[in-house]
Amino acid sequence: MPHESARDAPPAAPEPTSDVPDIPPETHLGRRDFLLAAGLGIAAGSLVPAPPPAGIREAKASPPSPSGATSRTSVRSRHARDENPHDAWIEVNSDAIRANAREVSRMAEGRSIVAVVKNNGYGLGTVAVARALDALPEVATLGVVKVDEAFELLEAGVTTPILLMGLAPPDAEEELARRGVRLTPYTDDAPDRLSRLARALDRPVPVHLYIDSGMGRLGMPDHRALPWLEELTASRAVAVEGTMTELAETEYDDEQLRRFHAFAAAAREAGFPLGRLHAAASHALFFRPGSLLSAVRPGLALFGAFPAGARALGMAELRPAHRLRARIIRVERLRPGDAVSYGRNWIAERPVWVAVVAAGHADGYPRRAVDGCRVLVGERSYPVIGAVSASHTVLEIGDEPSVSLGDVATLVGPDDPAIHPNTISERAEISVYDVLMHLGGHLPKVVSD
């Protein structure tokens, strides 16, 4: 069997490109603690003591609680008891999220932002990313799709208005509306439902109308929306704060926008206020300058990743806002002919050191990363070989054992171009959304303020 790593370049020299402050791994679990907790039998005296955490103001951990909510429990006080040192974790950089929001605001020429934090905050944690964005003047609204996420944000005490971009069962709808969450009606029964809801609340329900201008997913089709809106407003059921549509991100976007504008003009002509119009997600910020309307509605860009094809345009400086990290739990020298992982599809041709990282596809590191992706350990990145299995990833280290048991490996992050989410997306030939949103909900999070 051919030596598969022949196509891989030798370990690249470090190319630091990020000024995102480093969150020292010691705030999670020091290497000495790791080796002791893991019972790896290394003489503790041979280790350099962990330096004190520097460069972060506060570290918070989010234990994988049933609700998934973050807590302010000190990381250090809990790891020794209930943290398995073999677990992977995520570090979330709140400053990077805020810097990205300001960059989005610049691209949108100051238009307000509906910040989309759906699907577990794109993998970074709904509450963690919402807290980073809360109280930023650029962010007018936080958008979620699932009812539970709206409740999670309410429980966390987030003060920015929340927009639920999906339907809720009637009892949840009433509680959400009572607690100030903006609804996005689009169904034929919305006039009935919302007039009942308005009576229950004794006031009009604040909403953003959801219009389908040609993407064919959610929304009231634009060609049926005017009579529906008449019905919706007849009983003073709603206070329309905004009106949204979604672009399918094809050449048809311009036609979708034309249809959306035609509906808006007809509605206004008929005397229906529509509030702020919004259509642009991250893709449109880069590729549809005519779609920015009165607010923009990005998710991906806030977390420092680019829509496909946008990174090379040089239009924005976005910084990945998270790291996926895990420890090295095995370092071994293979003999020629020894194989690595499932399928035995990587065979050592010469004596070579390999290392096992305690993170795999069940944690959200892509299975396909084995085709050309690299993992950073210290200053150098190393090729992924063999297979990415559920909980483990194997690296080719080379002729010298330049990594040690307990070292922190960074699988995704801002620290080196090789581990940038867009690089991983390109090399693994998967959507960049999957690199973020498939991060395991179970992963502990270390959040820097």
Ligand X SMILES: *Cc1c(COP(=O)(O)O)cnc(C)c1O
Site string (317-346) toward ligand X, x via CB under 6 A? ------------------------------
User: Residue 4, Cα to own-chain centre: how many angstroms?
Assistant: 32
Catalytic residue among 60, 210, 342, 445: 342
CB of 119 to ligand X, least distance (A): 8
CB of 214 to ligand X, least distance (A): 14
Site string (251-290) toward ligand X, x via CB under 6 A? ------------------------------xxx-------
CA dist., res. 32 & res. 24, Å (int): 14
Judge whether 237 and 194 are in contact, CB under 8 Å.
Answer: yes
* Two structure tokens written together for 419: 């581990």
Would you say 118 or 374 has its CB closer to ligand X? 118
Interstrand relation of 408-412 and 374-377 (parallel, antiparallel or unpaired): antiparallel
Judge whether 214 and 252 are in contact, CB under 8 Å.
Answer: yes
Q: Contacting ligand X (CB under 6 A), which of 139, 165, 247, 328? A: 165
Cα dihedral across residues 137, 413, 300, 365: positive or negative: negative
Q: Contacting ligand X (CB under 6 A), which of 96, 99, 116, 176? A: 116
Assess whether 60 carries a catalytic annotation: no
Q: Does 83 bind ligand X (CB under 6 A)?
A: no
CB of 282 to ligand X, least distance (A): 3
CA dist., res. 426 & res. 308, Å (int): 9
Task: Note every long-range contact of 154-162, with CB atoms under 8 Å and residues 24 or more positions apart, other chains counting.
Answer: 154/179, 154/181, 155/67, 155/69, 156/69, 156/70, 156/127, 156/130, 156/131, 158/127, 158/130, 158/131, 158/134, 159/134, 159/135, 160/115, 160/130, 160/133, 160/134, 160/135
Would you say 149 or 415 has its CB closer to ligand X? 149
Judge whether 243 and 259 are in contact, CB under 8 Å.
Answer: no
Q: Contacting ligand X (CB under 6 A), which of 107, 300, 329, 376? A: 300
Which residues ranging from 134 to 153 are in contact with ligand X (CB under 6 A)?
145
Where do we find the tokens 């705030």? 27
Assess whether 342 carries a catalytic annotation: yes
Count of residues engaged in binding ligand X, rule: CB under 6 A: 13
Would you say 208 or 427 has its CB closer to ligand X? 208
Catalytic residue among 60, 118, 365, 382: 118
Catalytic residue positions, numbered: 118, 342
Residues contributing to the site for ligand X (CB under 6 A): 116, 118, 145, 165, 246, 281-283, 297-301
